[in-house]
Structure formats: C-alpha cells, structure tokens
A and B are shown apart, each in its own frame.
Chain A
Amino acid sequence: MTTTPTTLADLDRARDIALDLSGWGRRFSFYQPRNFAFWGYLMLVGTGMFVSISRVTREYDAYGPAIALAVTSFAIYAALFWWFTQRIDHYAKLPAKLMLVAFLWGGFAATWMMAASANDAILALYAKSFGQSWALNWGAGLSAPFTEETAKGSGLLLLIALAPRQVRTAFDGLILGAFIGLGFQIIEDIAYAMTSAGSQFGANQIGASIGTIIVRMVSGVAAHILYSAIFCAGLIYLLGRPAEPRRVGRGLLLMAIPMLLHGIWDSLAATAGRSALMLVGLLIAVVVIALVIVVRVYELTVRRERDFLRDVMTPEEARNVVTAAELDAMAGNRKARKRYRKTSPNRRERKRARYVLNAAYDLADELAGARGADTDRVRFARAEVSRIRAGVPSPPW
C-alpha cells in the first residue's frame, strides 16, 4: 500500500490506488433492481418493518405513554451514537446512506425475521430437554449469542453484495456492524420497554418501563453495538476483501469473541447466584473487558484506513497544502492529533491548528469524492486549508 514514490506523478498514482482499493468517496445507490441482494434486503427488512410497526400500533392504545417515552429516549440515544461514530471515523468514511441501510437491517430483519422466532424456539426446546429451571438459568446465554450474532452479521453479507465497491476493509465491517447492532439494540429495547409497560397489568406503565429503558441504555454501549461491530470486522477478515486480505483465524476469533461476551452477559444472573454484589462486580468486569476488546479491535482495523488517508493526502503534503506534521496528525490517532495541537504556542493557535486539521479532513473527503481529480470542489477545499492557516476569517453570511 504505502510505497516510497519520489515524483508527484507517483504520489498521485499511489493516491488513485488507495482510493480504488478503499472505495472511499464512492457514492452508494440503494436502488439496484439488477442486484439480487437488493430484493432480498427489501423483502426481509420490509416484512420485519411491517411486523414491528403492526406490533407498535396494536399495542399503542394500551401502552401509549410507555411507547412514546421509549421511542423518544432511544431516538436520542441513536442520534448520540451516530454523532460518536462520526467522531471516531476520521478516515475513509462510508456513505451515510449505507449506514442507514445497516441500521434498518439490524432493527427490522435481524430482530423480527430471524432472531425472535429462533430464540423462542430454542428456549422452549431447552426447557423441554433440560427443564424450566435450567432454561431460565442458561437458556438465554446459550441461544441469543448464536441466533442474534449470526442474524445481525448476515446483514453484512447483503451489504457487501449491495455495496461491493464501498465495503472494503475490516474497519468498514466494524462501523457497519456497529450500526447493525445499534438498529437491533434500539428495536429490541423498545420491545423490552413495551413488555415492561405491560408487566404490571398495564398499570404504572412509565414506572415499570423507565427502569428497563435506563438499564438498556447504560448496558447497551457494551452490548449489541459492540458485539456486532467486532463480529462484522471478523466476518470481513474471514471473507477477505480487495483491501483486506483473508485471515481466517483472525476472522473466526473475532466472530467468536462477541458470541462469548454475549453468552457471559446473558448468563450473569445465573453466574452471580443470589449475591447482588457479585452480580454488580461481574457486570462491571464484563463491560470493562468488552470495551477493552473493542478498543483493541478498533486499533487493529483502523491502521489500514489511516494508511489510505496518508496515501490520499501525501500528494497534498508534496504540494505544500498540508505540512508533514499535519499529515502525521491526520493519519495518526487521537493522541497524535492532541500532540500536534499542543505544539502550538497558545490557545488561539491550538484552536486554529484544530480547524486546519478539520479543513484538511474536508479536503481528503473532497479528493476522495473526486476520485483524486483536481476539481473546483477540491481546489476550494485546498483554499480553505490555506485560509484557515493564514487566520483569514470566513466570508460573511
């Protein structure tokens, strides 16, 4: 990937290769009637959406206040997560439309069309085979990890078929997996809140569901979003993509880890027994371990994206649009960006350094959208980097 070219032509060629490989900046069109995956996706998500909306409208008269509270709370939760993902994805960004497609798969197809009926059947089979008490202890932990992770992860197969030129790296799998998990989490949480609303015979709905909503929101960060992000990164390694060589062992390991975490999470109450202290301790331990693992997977997968960004922006360094220090900060991690800002002598300069980096990221996006060509938008984005560095105020509006 990153070579040692010496001329601008070589650097531009390396940029073209990086853009082709990464798929960065390519537009995604959902409507693809000649794509079999398009019809499969439409059928499964459409049916799941119909089932979900039918359930909400059927129960709205009975549990209206709780449903309104749950939908509002989880919509804010989803918006916050979306913002967070945009913040961590500085590099070869995926189209927002593709993330929405991933979210809808997780929310409507993976839940209602797959996992819900499979979970019910497996739990009942466990109860029949090993007894009700055993099924209550271990049933969820030995069903949901397999059904839900595969249901969510299978969506990535369709997304690859729908966007083969955009989904290129394990990092793409990580981001899309997170959105699939977010969709699953939000719709599952709303379903849980509805169940809680009816748990006291339909009385005291808000009181009965608010606890569920809070617990699901707090625990959700280290649950479905995280599990499917890791699983889908693993799936990309397992399958291999043009920008991500196949690594079967790593792929299988990354797919197994979220299943194991999910199983442990769902078995916490049985593992802790009657000790509330043990339950809280285990819960915190599992969340911390899960977060440590996802950070490691992020660091593992993001390297390739950073290399792409460097390849795309190196010609700009050669053209003196950005400095070597800025390029290192752009293609580095959060610490590298912080270190770069701290080299500025005062607060005002540090702020300007941050704006220069943001303008340089904008330039990278424009270059990717133009497939490396020198378009008006690219030239404008370059001018913006220079303007901000020179401290010239933005035009009045």
Chain B
Amino acid sequence: MPDPETDSSSATSAPRFEPDAGWVPADERLFGVDRRTIPPTLAVFALVIVMSVVLPVINARVPYHDIVKAGDVLRLQGDVTFVPEAGWGITSGVRAGNAPLSGEYPAAATVEHRAVKFTVRTAPFDGDANKLLDQIETTSEALNRGRGVHVAGTHTTIVTDQGKQGATARVTGPHTGGVIAAFVFESRGVEAVATGPSDAGPELTAAVFGMIRSISHPGEKRQ
C-alpha cells in the first residue's frame, strides 16, 4: 500500500486525448468509409436477405401436397367442423381426429383451389348471426378504410345442412369477389370467407356454398 503522504505522484489534471467515434485511421479507409465496419454489416445484411427473401421464396416455390380426400372433415376450436371440397389443398387447419398434442384444435382453417381461397374462423361471440356479420363488417371497414376487400351488399339468410340459420353477404375488392357467411352456435361465432377472381366459374361457387353449408357444431340439433 503506497503512503499518500510520501508518494508525490498524482493523477493528471487533463483527460488523455482520445479521437472521437467518427475518426477513421488513414490506413483503414475505403472511399472514406471505415473498412473494418464493412464485414460485420455485410454479414448482417446476408442474414437479413436469407430470412426475408430466400426463405419466403423457397416457401413460395414448394407446393402444398395436403389435398382433401372425399370424406375428410376439418375441425376447429370449439368443436366446429366443416367438410372441405375434395381435391382442394389444405393450407392451414387440421382434420378431425388429428388434433395437435395439446388437444386444442386451431381457431382457423383454410383450403385453396386455383385462385380461390376459403377460410373458416371461430371464436366466442355473444349475439346472433346478423350481429356477428355486422361486427365483421365494422372491423373490416375500420381495417381497410374502404380499400381492399370489404363486405358489400345486404345480408341474406343461409341455412346449413344441419339446419342452422346464418347470415351471408357479398365481399368485393379490386379484381376480387366472394362471399362471407356468419353463424353463431350457442356462444361460438363462426365466420366463413371465400375470395377469388370475380370471374370464378359456377363450379367453384357451388363448391364454396357446399362448404359453407357443411359447417356444423355438435351442440346444434339437426332441424
């Protein structure tokens, strides 16, 4: 331990000079840029490109092989089911009896064929089918602000094969048309949306309405 009384040395009173953060040594410049900062930045950019470009491109090029077979039933949360059209591709959602290990089925399922996409979503909802369709319309309008795909036209009634009455309306958008249907089983709301090119043929339209009518819930008695 030094004796402060006898040791005459002390810290200097002026801070030692250090160049500021922007200073680049003359031998480290490349067109004025600090060459040492280039490799880490390029490494990060490479990672960004892999994650945001390469992986999505690979995914887009890999086709779906999960094709609906006759008799398949897709099941959603809250025991809601529907029968997808045979030959369509399942892009999300799982078949009845093939639940995830947690036992909880997903809240949505989507099947696609050519450019037509059919999605069914379910969640708790208090009210009837018309109220649910109004709610979907309100949310959709707030999200899209009059642009993109939106609910149009008046509500009409649709009845499922199970005898459940629901509300339906047209959806329109730029070069897109479709239909939306809403049902409420006890306190569980179900939304089914089909969108595709405005000139989708009658065959696809019939398939879509067939899938909508197949929506069912075990709590609902066949009427």
Known: A132-B92, A161-B40. A26 touches B18 (CB 8 A): yes
Find chain B residues with CB under 8 A from A120 CB: 56, 59
Interface string of A109-140 (1 = CB under 8 A from B): 00001110110111011011101110011000
CA distance A265 to B10 in the complex (A): 55
Find chain A residues with CB under 8 A from B132 CB: 201
CA distance A281 to B138 in the complex (A): 42
Give the contacting residue for B41; candidates A37, A129, A147, A271; CB below 8 A.
A37
Q: Is the beta-carbon distance between B7 and A114 smaller than 8 angstroms?
A: no
- The answer to whether B142 has its CB under 8 Å from any CB of chain A is yes
CA distance A374 to B10 in the complex (A): 8
Rounded to whole Å, the gap between the CB of B192 and the closest CB of chain A is 12
Q: Is the beta-carbon distance between A203 and B36 smaller than 8 angstroms?
A: no
CA distance A137 to B189 in the complex (A): 25
Find chain B residues with CB under 8 A from A59 CB: 143
Q: Is the beta-carbon distance between B51 and A118 smaller than 8 angstroms?
A: yes
Find chain B residues with CB under 8 A from A373 CB: 11-16
CA distance A371 to B119 in the complex (A): 64
Interface string of B132-144 (1 = CB under 8 A from A): 1001101100110
Q: Is the beta-carbon distance between A117 and B103 smaller than 8 angstroms?
A: no
Known: A158-B40, A161-B40. A33 touches B22 (CB 8 A): yes
Q: Is the beta-carbon distance between A272 and B43 smaller than 8 angstroms?
A: no
Q: Is the beta-carbon distance between A11 and B37 smaller than 8 angstroms?
A: no
Interface string of A149-170 (1 = CB under 8 A from B): 0110011011011111100000
- The answer to whether B154 has its CB under 8 Å from any CB of chain A is no
Interface string of B194-210 (1 = CB under 8 A from A): 00000000000000000
Among B13, B66, B132, residue most surrounded by chain A Cβ atoms (within 10 Å): B13
Q: Is the beta-carbon distance between A35 and B33 smaller than 8 angstroms?
A: yes
Give the contacting residue for A163; candidates B14, B21, B22; CB below 8 A.
B21
- The answer to whether A58 has its CB under 8 Å from any CB of chain B is yes
- The answer to whether A318 has its CB under 8 Å from any CB of chain B is yes
- The answer to whether B107 has its CB under 8 Å from any CB of chain A is yes
- The answer to whether B32 has its CB under 8 Å from any CB of chain A is yes
Find chain B residues with CB under 8 A from A132 CB: 66, 90, 92-94
Find chain A residues with CB under 8 A from B44 CB: 40, 44, 154-155, 157-158
Rounded to whole Å, the gap between the CB of A98 and the closest CB of chain B is 11
Find chain A residues with CB under 8 A from B13 CB: 373-375
CA distance A127 to B63 in the complex (A): 11
- The answer to whether A8 has its CB under 8 Å from any CB of chain B is yes
Q: Is the beta-carbon distance between A201 and B139 smaller than 8 angstroms?
A: yes
Among A132, A204, A319, A370, residue most surrounded by chain B Cβ atoms (within 10 Å): A132
- The answer to whether A85 has its CB under 8 Å from any CB of chain B is no
Count residues of A near B (Cβ-Cβ below 8 Å). Answer: 81
Interface string of A194-217 (1 = CB under 8 A from B): 000011111110000000000000
Known: A8-B7, A203-B125. A133 touches B98 (CB 8 A): yes
CA distance A128 to B55 in the complex (A): 14
- The answer to whether A320 has its CB under 8 Å from any CB of chain B is yes
CA distance A11 to B9 in the complex (A): 10
Q: Is the beta-carbon distance between B41 and A6 smaller than 8 angstroms?
A: no
Known: A34-B34, A127-B92, A273-B103. A6 touches B22 (CB 8 A): no
Find chain A residues with CB under 8 A from B47 CB: 114, 150-151, 154
Q: Which residues from 14 to 52 on chain B have a C-beta closer than 8 Å to any C-beta of chain A?
A: 14-16, 18, 20-22, 24, 29, 32-34, 36-38, 40-41, 43-45, 47-48, 50-52
- The answer to whether A145 has its CB under 8 Å from any CB of chain B is no
Rounded to whole Å, the gap between the CB of A5 and the closest CB of chain B is 8
- 3 closest residue pairs by CB, A with B: A202-B139, A62-B142, A118-B51
A-B contact pairs, 17 of them (CB 8 A): A11-B2, A12-B11, A34-B22, A36-B41, A117-B51, A128-B63, A132-B92, A137-B102, A162-B37, A199-B107, A200-B123, A203-B125, A204-B124, A269-B100, A371-B18, A374-B13, A375-B15
| Inter-chain pairs besides A125-B59, A373-B13, 4 sampled, C-beta below 8 Å | A133-B100, A160-B40, A271-B101, A373-B14
